[in-house]
Structure 1
Amino acid sequence: MKRTSVTLLAFLLILAVGSGISYWVYQKQYGELVAEGRSQLDVARESFTRELNRLFEPGPAVYEAVTDARLSERSEEEARDLFFAIATGPVRRTRQINGIFLGFPDGRFLHVQDLVPSSKSGFAGGLTRRVIDDPDSRPEGRWLQPGDGPGLWAEKQIEAAPYDPRERPWFKAAAVTKHPVWTKPYVFASSGSLGVTYAHSIYREDGTLWGVLGVDLSLASLSLTLLDAANTLTRFDDLVFATDLAGRMLAHPDLVRARPSEREDVEAFLSRYRAEESVESILIDSVKRSGAVRVVDTKEGAYLATKSVLDPNLAMPISIYLAQDMDTILTEADRTLLRNVALLFIAIVAFGTVSFYVVKLGVEVAARVKAEADLVEARDTAEAATRAKSAFLATMSHEIRTPMNGVMSMAELLSVSKLDAEQSSMARVIRQSASALLTIIDDILDFSKIEAGKLDVENVELSLMDCVDGAAEIIAPRAEEKGLSLIVDIQTDLADKRLGDPTRLRQILLNLGGNAVKFTERGEVRIRVRALPTRGADWLRFEISDTGIGLTDEQRGLLFQPFVQADQSTARKFGGTGLGLSICRRLCELMDGRIGVESRIGEGATFWFELPMKVMESGVPKPEFDLSPARVVVVGLDPSEAEVAARYLQAGGVTDLAMRGEVGRDPAPGDLVISGTFAAPEDAERLCRADGKLALYGGREQLATLPSDIQKRVVFRISMPLTRPKLWDAIAVSLGLKRSDEGDGERRPDLAFAPPSAEEARAVSALVLVAEDNQTNQTVIRKMLSRMGYAVEVTPDGLAALDALARGGHGLLLTDINMPEMDGFELARTVRREEADTRLPIIALTADAMSETELECNAAGMDGCLTKPIDSLALGSVLAEYLPQAQNLRRPANTAAETGANTAEKWDREIFDPSSMEEAFGGLNDEAKEFVRSARAVWGTRIEEIAHALANEDRKSARSAAHSLKGAALSVGALRLGRIAGDLQSALDQDDDAMASIMVEILQPTLVEFDETTEKIFAVRGQEA
């Protein structure tokens, strides 16, 4: 025991002394090597600064040449010729110069650039001059290229948009200062490369501005310069890159080394280096002061790093970062430490078995500690990735839901207007598509739940036919655009009422069907549903087949994995995230099913999935009426469509059925002739002479553009896809058993009431109080409530609403969230504080559909939340629930509301959608037009307020004006203007100045677009009135 103790003590003493000596030697060498590394970095930093100053020298050099030539004192023609003489050489010879130009205060413009060839326009590219010498009559200017002889330039015909240099950021910035100006990096339209513009004003002797010189400098050469300088000044393992003063990556030697395909999108390539955990991002965040040298720790190791900022008077103000790997700097110290450790190890081994076991135990403990540390690090990394994914999905959901709310609301209002059957069908498809998309967004948000096994599936009664046909209706428009046939083939003897999850079933069908259409250029897509008798009566097999590009064995192996596509070129050509098939697989597994694919390259593919869906009712779908007396002739359908149509008709009870591939010379008689759209004019003539009634099957666009003589003969239009309900309805109409829906829109009896007087409503506490600061929104909500039969009182803010509530008689409070004086949250809290026994229902009106907003409304004491633009059905539900005492006060309106114009004018409904005005005013009448004009009268002032506030860096005022513009525009149907204002508001909330600047620039053109569109619409509607 004593010997063991002595041995152990000696071992520990040798270990301590040896370790101490090794540590002292290591620290001494560490300090010397780090000091040497600092000195080398200082030298390299100064050298890099000189090299990069030379890169930007062409900008100031061209300016000196132009000013030395005294162009401002010469005639217009002499100045133009001399400018081209000075600028042409540098553009031709200097690789970093993309172009040199002169802009004048009167709008004239001179430009020399080396254009990139364009395969679209056939333009050969090359050295080109642009001259805008008459901006009033020819704002696009003239284009000149070298002619046949030396010094000769010939005019070329190049399509170009008008150009005004005075509206460009480089001109505006340089015109107000006598110092050089460097723009923020951006992508040049002429070459597609990333670069900056050097701009410098030129003044006459009398002090007035003569013009602004600009030089476009490509930053592509910056990465090459960094690589050349790095190879000369630093070691192969050193790190060099450049950013702007805000930390945006501008150049990296890796860009030069990258493959050509990777260099096509410079900004995307460089953005990888600003990832949160990249070495470059950590260096940018750690080294703040120019000239400072410090050690920075990263996950890839430690670096000795420094930073240099270029002088803006000599070059573009950018930051250059240099870093040396500490492992390289400390190589000698590590080698000495390793040698000392080896000697120490030999000494320890000499102590025998006891020392060996001690060392072995120490190694095992260290390994276990390291493993635990690795596990902790892996856990932290996984948790960080999960948080980042959740934040991304939440943001994406909000960004997508905002426009989708508009799509669904406008589709709903469209369905109220006067539509023919085909238009009503298209409106239904819009609503179904939007609803399906929102459902898919919810599924993507639940992807993490799927991974964690926490997503539950429903097991409710559903209609198999409705689910499959509904999914096909959503897919059909895209198939029509590509000229594909879409066939729904459901086994006719299958029971329709089953147990399952209709949302998940529809999602899988939409995903697989959408993919089939996406990857098929010609032919057909077929959705087939069959029983699986080998697995029992409750099992069904769904197949989605196409005649598309097909898959190789290797590609099939990559399917059904998250964020993976069968071929990298797929994403470039067809788009998509690679997430859909993975979700389909997980959903099938959750529903106790399975999924797979069968395919050969060039022969199409069949994706299939099998699900257990318990039969609830054994009966199969049957038509509403007895169709057995009908004589039906089917002509002009594709063989696949004709075969399915025959089975569907026979399943509906039709026995007298004739199938013809083409229209014959003597059309067969029948009660109903079902024909595909005509292959030739003579087919139409023959069918018009046929006995019986005519139903046409085809694409929506084909059916909507039929000649008038054909339209008179057609009693029913069957849009793709061909389904049992459509065929059966066509026969019922032909037999007179059912009325055609031609010309009928959805009736809205809930919008056909007149309100009581305010005194009548106040007497029974049925008066609706609205707190809304935006006058446009006030008018819309007032009109909508009036047409629903409710008396309303409107106040401009929370304080006024409190005063109104003090007078009594109110049964419901609708309040905006953002208002002056007192916002909606404070108003709700005040009401709850001051109310006595009777609780007043409070509903929020907000444009923000985020769950956080709804939670904040609940916390303030509100009873619910409605999103803008207001859904009239949702509003009606709220009124029926919270204001039952007002129902008996509503009385029918004296006249029927106008449901829309008699003509379907064609314009972009994103620019102006009159649905909300028609709903609020009963039509786009003179009162509605005047309301739109009065609302629009202040929008120009709002846009000016936004621009002025941003110029003065007053984000609060700019956000307030943007919020006001958004609400007013959306309320009258200026959807595009309202959404741009909303995007501007979001950019200001996120301190994204670059995006805010972009949004401000397009506000005024969007307003002009709105003015031009409404002027034409009002003129047409005025004539109809």
Structure 2
Amino acid sequence: MLDKATRLLLVEDDEDDYILTCDYLEQLSSHTFDIEWISDPKQAVEVLSKNQHDICLLDYRLGASDGLAVLKQAVENGFNGPIIMLTGQSNDAIDLAALDAGAVDYLVKSEMSSSRFARSIRYALARRDVEDERLERLKAEAENRSKDRFLAHLSHELRTPLSSILGYTELLMQSDFNEHANNELGVIYRNGKHLLSLLNDVLDLSKIAADKLELSCSDVNLDSLMADVFTLMRVSALDKGLSLRFESLQPLPLVISIDATRFRQILINIINNAIKFTEQGEIIVRAWTKAVDGREMLFFSIKDSGLGIAPEKQALIFKPFEQIADVESRSVGGAGLGLAICSELLSRMQGGISLDSAIGKGSEFTISLYPGNIEQVQRHVLKLDLAPKIQQKTAPCKVNGRVLVVDDLHDLRILVGHMISSAGAKVDYAEHGKQALDKVNKAQHQGNPYDIIFLDIHMPIMGGKEATIELRRMGFKGAIIALTAVAMKGIHSELSALGFNDVIGKPVDSSLLYQCLTNYSIATKKPVDKLAQPAQVQSCARFLLVEDDADAAQITQLLLESLGVETVVATSYEHTLEILKNDSQFDKVLLDMHLPDGSGLDLARYIKHHYHHLKRVIVSGIQPDPIQIKQLEIDQVLLKPINLALLGQLIEH
């Protein structure tokens, strides 16, 4: 297959020079050229503006016209290919003028028979290829950001109605009304939970793909964690008449350092699959430790007596969206994501997963993970409380005080309020942030302030982030708990910087809700987290924030404005130039490193040359190249995530 010809536009008014140039181009063995010849300057501008050529050779003298005018107009009209200026004689002034106007090189026609001509063509095309790759990369990054925003929106839109479905079903199941509809309520609840698990799987996989899934490791009691998993899964096993056994092959560490939530997710997923695909017999979960590459690892095996999996299909089950045929034939629900997520999570836990299975002989999954340094940790043989826990129908805590629940959805407000009032607190409601401010202000003037505010993030009129900043400005000292369906990377630190004390995800987990009531209620008199207090820095400064990510821009703008900094937001390279052209009266410009239409460092270079008075601050998720920072004389570098403390230091600096 022949390589695609390079589309070359030759703008030349001398026919002899056109013929000579074509001869020289044919002698270049590295490329095949599809040459279009134009002699009229106006026509050349029209053709170049269509941006359909890979490279342009442009004569400096075009009759009575000047090739520089064609060059400048073509660049302004959007031609982004390389342009090489040709002239009859060498002239340093013309050379510099051509390069300033956008040409990539300047050649004297007498040099076209030399190697310099070939080298100039090759370099120009290579630069074009590099630029194309950069634009493709920026396009892909922009698409990923769009996908992230879409998934965050999808999460919010789906979790919000699920909160009502699951919450109200739980209330009915725990009430006296469930006597005649217990089975029906159970069906609603189980299917709602199933929808939630599918949503979590899709979001988890997308966060893994975007490298935005973060693990939160802490010391965990292994006995308690395994007992919780056993209690949960034993009910599912008994429903199918199966036996479920947990056992340790040796004494295990009592305390390990892991992300308990993710580890539970892995175990529950694999055990649940074993129960699904086993019609009779038992599921055995065994645990042990073993030294691997000089450090002690924790291992678990989950063995079932099910149908087994054919060897040629075993690799598929660890790939996203793949399901083996007998899964489909037996109508077992799922999106085919669970084991793919388990594999990725275990990889992040410095471990892995393997499978040993044969048709008719069942399957055994073996997982490993690094439990932290357990060399000096006390050990015991695993003991499980075999008595299943009965769900409490009343609140597990008793508190007093006043609580304000703020959510634009009536069902969710009432649901959360019911949970809180069952614990003994007095509950008031608001539909959006502005209404919440009015109620808090009124309560404070009456000398009967709220102790805790549960505040939804996304609401009309005024959202939770804006409301929290205003609440702290008003002097509200109580706890503010965020209710959010969006659980993206960095959300906890961002909300903490805005003034929130804690975060509860949607659907609202009643145990987390009661824990917050216990931690922050008037009965316990828990002080407000110092991290949630806005920095006591006030300023009359004016900043230009260049950030294409809408969420990051909104949060940073809110933080800066809470410190008294007037903030204007630009979303791209071109948007920044447009703003500065009309208004350059800023104290500092905060530049994101990666913009959809250019580099933050390139923009910093442009600002340095054209707006000398502006101080430039690079905002980046990774540490930029210190050599580039020094060369560009960047005033300061801020590493994401941005918080009030960092911005306070920036203002003082």
Query: Which bracket does the TM-score occupy, shorter chain normalised?
Result: 0.3 to 0.5
TM-score normalised according to structure 2 size: 0.48
Compare relative contact order (CA 8 Å, sep 6+) and give the higher one, 1 or 2: 2
TM-score normalised according to structure 1 size: 0.33
